[in-house]
Amino acid sequence: MTHIKFNQSPVPRTFGGLVEDILNGGFNKLVKDDFLTSDFFTTYPPVNIVETPEAFLLEVAAPGFSKEDFKISAAEKTISISAEKKEAVKNESDKQVRREFNFKSFKRSFSISDVVDANKINAKYENGILKVTLGKKENNQDSPKEIVVE
């Protein structure tokens, strides 16, 4: 199974532009604009992929979601995992003093090989980790073959 890579880095700046930003807006503005307010770190959740003799295991770190927020679909040679958090009902009488976290939607897609059996895909969400098991087809390994050097 291979991972489809995304390039979501901010637009590269010239050295002169960086120096000008630091001198005019200060280093705090530069860091805030590039890393804290943009989706630099929060665009895609981190994923671990493990292969066992029986299956591929995907572990998606997605804390704060519920199992109803996830949508997983498998089509041809791709599996897509997405999540969208519904906005909580706000009480108008409560005044929010500070808000440091929020939940963003995401979608990740992975290429899957022919050895994955679509009928053996299951998912479980617990403790902020979505665990997707992609079972392998039975008897998919070719018998070892000896190659004669001529």
What CATH number is given to the structural domain containing 49?
2.60.40.790
- In the numeric block, the tokens 């530069």 are attached to 30
Residue 93, pLDDT score: 76
Residue 51, pLDDT score: 93
Task: Please indicate, yes or no, whether residues 127 and 70 belong to a single structural domain of this protein.
Answer: yes
Q: What is the value of pTM for the model shown?
A: 0.61
Q: Are 4 and 112 in contact (CB under 8 A)?
A: no
Residue 134, pLDDT score: 93
Residue 38, pLDDT score: 47
Q: Are 51 and 74 in contact (CB under 8 A)?
A: no
Q: Residue 31 class from Cβ within 10 Å (0-12 exposed, 13-18 middle, 19+ buried)?
A: exposed
Range of the domain at 2: 1-42
Task: Please indicate, yes or no, whether residues 55 and 76 belong to a single structural domain of this protein.
Answer: yes
Question: How many domains does the chain contain in total?
Answer: 2
Task: Please indicate, yes or no, whether residues 10 and 65 belong to a single structural domain of this protein.
Answer: no
Q: Mean pLDDT of residues grouped by 10 in the chain (150 residues)?
A: 52 64 58 48 80 93 89 89 79 74 82 88 94 86 63
Tell me the sheet residues that pair with 58: 49, 132
Q: How far apart are CA 137 and CA 116, in angstroms?
A: 6
Residue 95, pLDDT score: 78
Kind and range of the H or E run holding 79: strand 78-83
Residue 55, pLDDT score: 93
